[in-house]
Amino acid sequence: MPEKKKAPKALVPEWVVTFGDLMSLLLCFFVLLVSFSEMKKPREYQKVIDSINEAMGFKGGMGLAHLLEQADNSMVSNQEERARRDGNERSTNKNNDDNVQGRETLVNIVQEGARHAIGGSIMFEVGEFELSKRNQDMIRESIAPKIRGLNYICPIVGHAWGLEEKRSGLGFDELGYRRAQSVKDFLVRECGVDAAILRIESAGDTEPMSLNDGSGQAGGSNRRVQVYQTGRTVSQTHPDPNFTGAGN
């Protein structure tokens, strides 16, 4: 009686087939991640996502409520509206609207953009608005070199704080303004900074840095002046910033 032939051994282990399938699925997963990484066409991608959710019967995860109506004032709906408005723009976080014109055609509302602090805070004693020698050295070395020669508008914001300053006879707004004025005068007179780029502001006691500076005297760090730089230029806000007569 002939011997039963033995089944030939598999040339490839069985686990390799399963492993290959898993690697293929993983590759497809990463391809999808790359495809969805840039929402160049948000409306088309939203349709794909809705179709996938419908096919998988997705109704929302833990902590999510499935709503039949869309909330028009939500952040998500606002982003979708901006995506529809901007079409295929890669980023919708930019303002495509023109400046709002005022009564005069040459007057526009120019946004200053983000403010960047220049140097450290210039501290003042209670009720004082004159610059100390230390403050003058700080302005001369840390602030003036960074804004000298620039064409960007630099606000100088003065602050005040505390019951002692309230009893000094000057209101918080007035004291903050005088401190900012002292800094501006020093920048122009002693440091050669163009006065056209400087703007004086007073925040009074509305923007304290802290309620206790750690020295036992509450709010000492709030009696200060801070210089900022904006992204708005002088030429954007003045038709003839050098007063050459060209704007007449």
> Rounded to 5 degrees, what are φ and ψ at 214?
90, -5
Q: pTM of the entire structure?
A: 0.54
Residue 235 binned pLDDT confidence (cut-offs 50, 70, 90): confident
Q: Residue 185 belongs to what domain range?
A: 116-237
Residue 110 falls inside a structural domain: no
Q: What is the tens place of the pLDDT at every residue in 126-139?
A: 888 899 999 999 99
How many domains does the chain divide into? 2
Q: Is residue 122 a part of any domain in this protein? A: yes
Span 170-225, pLDDT tens digits? 888 899 999 999 999 999 999 999 999 999 999 988 888 877 644 445 567 889 99
Judge whether 49 lies within some domain. yes
Please indicate, yes or no, whether residues 120 and 47 belong to a single structural domain of this protein. Answer: no
* In-domain check, residue 244: no
Q: Per the domain annotation, does 186 fall within a domain?
A: yes
What pLDDT, on a 0 to 100 scale, did the predictor assign at position 163? Answer: 84
Q: Which residue has the higher pLDDT, 167 or 44?
A: 167
Read off the tokens for 71.
């909330």
Domain co-membership, 48 together with 154: no
217 located within any domain? yes
The pLDDT assigned to 41 comes to: 63
Angle at 156 between CA 153 and CA 223, to 5 degrees: 165
2 domain residue, yes or no = no
